[in-house]
Chains A and B, each alone.
Chain A
């Protein structure tokens, strides 16, 4: 019964999303990327001169830099045929009722307004290139917390944005796709938490890429001042087209002294999306960054959130789950760069490959010359279901200091026949037994999520596991 219900809900969700995707765009750029388009984006957004300069620098570097010579194949990505800027037919609003019906219905089905009422302090929603809804509860506004779309923040809070936007954390020329992102970025979230403020309930943004052959390039910038605490959750999805789409977002997080930022993202892009995302946090003295990264969708993912532990005693905890099904390649991992004394990092990942999919862990722990007594522990486990599926592990542990302590462990295997026998002898079908084992395998990650998200992730994992047998 439960399975039927999930299937039915899933199919009706797909229909709703398909309907929403037919909503006409207000502006859609032609295929390809030109200087005129970059200038036009900046003009439409009424941006200050310094931002246009950064966009043009991004364009210049995009043209200069080669495609990555490592990692999964990006041959199916038709960069010359993508639309780099698509504005939905809606203005940003603080009231849910003002969002156009088609778009509102999409987010309603994704559970956004309900989540805001029940469990979140602020919510943002982005459709293609533009944010259509952004709201922060009054109590947090009064404490000086800022939760805005990135477009608005560039104009409204230049003193907070200008020095941090694609400079110290993720430089424009980091790689080809950060340069592209700098040139055409649009939308995303800006969060500022003042010194000493603890935001006790999470903020959330939902990104939806709707256009066929579209690209989404949202920019998220989080600044947590000294002693503050904030939790931010991102969800991502897109409808299925036969042509490829590109998501090249960028997340920059500045964790101040003794501040804590928890960043969670569940990326469930559809199977035609290339998800080439860049996420990085710079953590000051005594600060903590917690990453939680779930990658379920997209045909190819290359995503390696990175923590730069720049101040004494800074800490990074990363938890990741990746699921690769038919035709999917999830090339994910984490990086921890220890630059200061007494810094610690932990990385825990779980990956599942099934139906011919390939999940890979690619990670780096690096200890620099100033990082006395750095500690790091990495553990990655992979489950492979079905012949033809595959899994890779490429971890790097590197230190130039003799007083570092770095450990790594990994296990790769299939579902044990004994576990299956035990569950099936208790009356479970093979399908149910696999789902239960996979549920247990991802449990350490799911447990870290807020309840609503844990339920959603569990459901997504169950849906992904549908029909694994037979």
Chain B
């Protein structure tokens, strides 16, 4: 089941009264409990959500935004979709209580306007809860975006976070994820398709504070024209956090001689009982693959587009549901068709 949460309804009355698709309506839930979409003021009054928001670091305190709250044990089936172009800026908070499950696709801030954008994404994953979140962002040339993602994952909680950037704008995003208690796990996926003079700067930090926590960062960037991408990844493992697993896999494909890239995949490890590895690469399309495709009659541009699509494939295959996967693939394909020719 897909629920569309329409931000426009915040200021206007929902035309259908109880349409089940607007942000003032409650989303469908597999049991009697309901997931709620709350305005910021409303959220601060909510007992659980209010406590969670009050625990935020001072620099993340906000006065406005939207909160998606999933009560304990509630499993929202299918991806919830935030899809409105009204306001690309602001704060989105996700609070998932113990044992809950939520899949969210945020394209709300994708392709909106041409002014500078600023957004925050705050995620609280409770004990044994699972949150899968995809956020996609398209930026026009010279458009700027400054983002901040902050997440806290508790005991046996699972966070899967996918961020995709497409276009020729300038994106700067800082992500901090804390694995607070035993068994917490995060999978962080990053996709960048930079075109024109696009620049993408991603700073991701994952901190392991507890025993048995695990993290996996996977990124794929394809850069055309004069685009550039900087990935700075840091996995920190605290001295007490034994039996941890940290992996990073960061690859960049350069489709133009004037594209630029920088990768800094770092580890800071304070204990011996860990398994950590990282791999990073910056390179061009494999000449043999291109030759193979061209020898089968494909024009050179199409061969390059297919190679780029194939380069993204291992990342896209990690996406958890068909709808999100198709949305991401569609966006990549149309962007490649525009720019790789």
> What residues make up the interface of A, taking CB atoms closer than 8 Å to B?
353, 382, 384-414
Q: Are B272 and A408 in contact (CB under 8 A)?
A: no
**Chain B positions within 8 Å of A393 at CB level:** 265-267, 278
Q: Tell me the nearest residue of chain A to B271, going by C-beta.
A: A387
Tell me whether B284 and A397 are in contact (CB under 8 A). no
CB distance from A405 to the nearest CB of B (A): 5
Interface pair A387/B276, CB less than 8 Å apart: no
Select B272's contact among A395, A398, A400, A414, beta carbons within 8 Å.
A414
Instruction: Determine if A387 and B262 form an interchain contact, defined as CB atoms under 8 angstroms apart.
Output: no
How many A-B contacts if CB must be within 8 Å?
Answer: 117
Pair A404/B276 contact, Cβ less than 8 Å: no
Q: Per a CB cutoff under 8 Å, which of B223, B261, B265, B270 touches A408?
A: B265
Least CB distance, B261 to chain A, in whole angstroms: 6
Residue in B255, B259, B261, B278 whose CB lies within 8 Å of A410: B278
Q: Does B56 contact A (CB under 8 A)?
A: no
Partner of B269, one of A386, A391, A396, A405: A391
A467 to B15 Cα, complex, angstroms: 77
Task: Establish whether residues B280 and A408, one from each chain, have CB atoms under 8 Å apart when the complex forms.
Answer: yes
Cα-based distance from A385 to B269 in the complex (angstroms): 12
Given contacts A399-B260, A399-B261, A402-B284, contact A390 B266 (CB under 8 A): no
Assess the A413–B276 pair: CB atoms within 8 A.
Answer: yes
Sampled A-B contacts (7; CB under 8 Å): A399-B254, A399-B262, A402-B258, A402-B259, A403-B254, A408-B280, A412-B274
Instruction: Collect the chain B residues with CB atoms within 8 Å of residue A409's CB.
Output: 277-280
Chain B 320-334 per-residue mask, 1 if CB under 8 angstroms from chain A, else 0: 000000000000000
Query: How far, in Å, is A418 (CB) from chain B's closest CB?
Result: 13
- Taken together as a complex, chains A and B put the C-alpha atoms of A397 and B272 apart, in Å, by 27
**Residues A402 and B255 in contact, CB atoms below 8 Å apart:** yes
Question: Given A387-B239, A404-B254, is A394 in contact with B272 using a C-beta cutoff of 8 Å?
Answer: no
Would you call the interface of chain B mostly helix, strand, loop, or mixed? strand
Say whether B279 contacts A407, CB under 8 Å: yes
Cβ B274 vs Cβ A410 within 8 A: no
With known contacts A384-B271, A392-B268, A403-B257, A410–B284 Cβ distance under 8 A? no
B143 at the interface (CB under 8 A from A): no
- Do A390 and B239 have beta carbons less than 8 Å apart? yes
Q: Does B315 contact A (CB under 8 A)?
A: no
Q: A387-B272, A414-B273 are in contact. List 9 more A-B contacts (CB 8 A).
A: A389-B271, A392-B266, A394-B266, A399-B262, A402-B223, A402-B284, A406-B283, A408-B278, A409-B279
In the assembled complex, the Cα of A390 lies from the Cα of B238 at a distance in Å of 10
Tell me, yes or no, whether B163 is within 8 Å of chain A by CB.
Answer: no
CB 8 Å contact bits of B280-292 with A (1 = contact, 0 = none)? 1111100000000
Q: CB-nearest residue of chain A relative to B280?
A: A408
Known: A405-B282, A408-B278. A388 touches B239 (CB 8 A): yes
Output the nearest chain A residue to B253 by Cβ-Cβ distance.
A402
Interface residues on B, range: 20 to 34
Query: With A392-B267, A394-B266, A395-B265 given, is the CB distance from A402 to B256 under 8 Å?
Result: yes
B135 within 8 A of A: no
Contact of A390 among B259, B262, B271 (CB under 8 A): B271
- Could you tell me if A395 and B264 are in contact, using CB atoms closer than 8 angstroms? yes
Return chain B residues, CB-CB under 8 Å to A395.
264-266, 280
Using A397-B263, A408-B279, A410-B277 as known contacts, say yes or no to A392 and B269 having CB atoms under 8 A apart. yes
* Closest chain B residue, CB of each to CB of A364: B264
Is B242 in the interface zone, CB < 8 Å from A?
Answer: yes
Known contacts A408-B280, A409-B279; is-contact A414 B274 (Cβ 8 Å): yes
In the assembled complex, the Cα of A457 lies from the Cα of B280 at a distance in Å of 31
Nearest-CB distance from A310 to chain B (Å)? 21
Q: Do the beta carbons of A405 and B284 come within 8 Å of each other?
A: yes
Contact B282 A412 (CB under 8 A): no
Q: How far is the CB of A437 from chain B (nearest CB, A)?
A: 14
- Does B295 count as interface, using CB distance less than 8 angstroms? no
10 tightest Cβ-Cβ pairs between the two chains A and B: A384-B272, A402-B254, A402-B257, A412-B276, A408-B280, A409-B279, A398-B262, A406-B282, A407-B281, A393-B267
| Cross-interface CB contact of B283 among A386, A388, A390, A405, cutoff 8 Å | A405
**In the complex, what distance in Å separates the CA atom of A406 from the CA atom of B274?**
27
Contact assessment for A394 and B277 in the assembled complex, using a CB-CB cutoff below 8 Å: no
For residue B275, CB closer than 8 A to chain A, the reply is yes
- Chain B residues near A388: list those with CB within 8 A: 239, 271-272
Please determine whether B267 and A410 come into contact, CB atoms closer than 8 angstroms: yes
Question: What does the 1/0 interface line of B208-226 toward A look like (CB < 8 Å)?
Answer: 0000000000000001000
Q: Which residues of B contact A410 (CB under 8 A)?
A: 265, 267, 276-279
Instruction: Decide if A384 touches B264 in the complex (CB within 8 Å).
Output: no
Contacts of A384 in B (CB 8 A): 269, 271-272, 274
B264 to chain A, nearest CB (A): 5
Determine the chain B residues whose CB is within 8 A of the CB of A382 once the complex forms. 269
- A398-B262, A407-B279 in contact; A386/B272 too (CB < 8 A)? yes
Q: With the chains together, A403 CA to B260 CA distance in Å? A: 10
Question: In the complex, what distance in Å separates the CA atom of A35 from the CA atom of B258?
Answer: 49
Which residues in A have their C-beta under 8 angstroms from that of B258? Answer: 402
User: Which residues of chain A are near B223, meaning CB under 8 Å?
Assistant: 402
Closest residue of B by beta carbon distance from A358: B270
Residue of A nearest to B269 (CB): A391
Q: Which residues of A contact B270 (CB under 8 A)?
A: 390
B254 surroundings in chain A (CB, below 8 A): 399, 402-404
A135 to B272, CA, bound (A): 46
Question: B264 contacts which of A385, A396, A411 (Cβ < 8 Å)?
Answer: A396
| Closest Cβ–Cβ distance, residue B249 to chain A (whole Å) | 10
CB pair B280 A391 closer than 8 Å = no
CB <8 Å contact, A413 and B274: yes
CA distance A397 to B267 in the complex (A): 15
Of A353, A408, A413, most buried by chain B (CB within 10 Å of CB) is A408
When distances are taken between beta carbons in the complex, the residues of chain B under 8 Å from A399 are: 254, 260-262, 282
**B262: which A residues are within 8 A, CB to CB?**
396-399
How close is B216's CB to chain A, nearest CB, in angstroms? Answer: 15
What CA separation (Å) do A386 and B266 show in the bound complex? Answer: 21
CB interface residues, B 62-92, toward A, < 8 Å: none
**CA of A402 to CA of B268, assembled, Å:** 30
* Distance of B304 from chain A, by nearest CB (Å): 12
Find chain A residues with CB under 8 A from B242 CB.
387
- Contact (Cβ within 8 A) B268 A397: no
Chain B residue contacts of A390, Cβ below 8 A:
239, 268-271
Most buried by B among A385, A402, A409: A402
Kindly state the separation between the CA atoms of A176 and B223 in the bound complex, as whole angstroms: 38
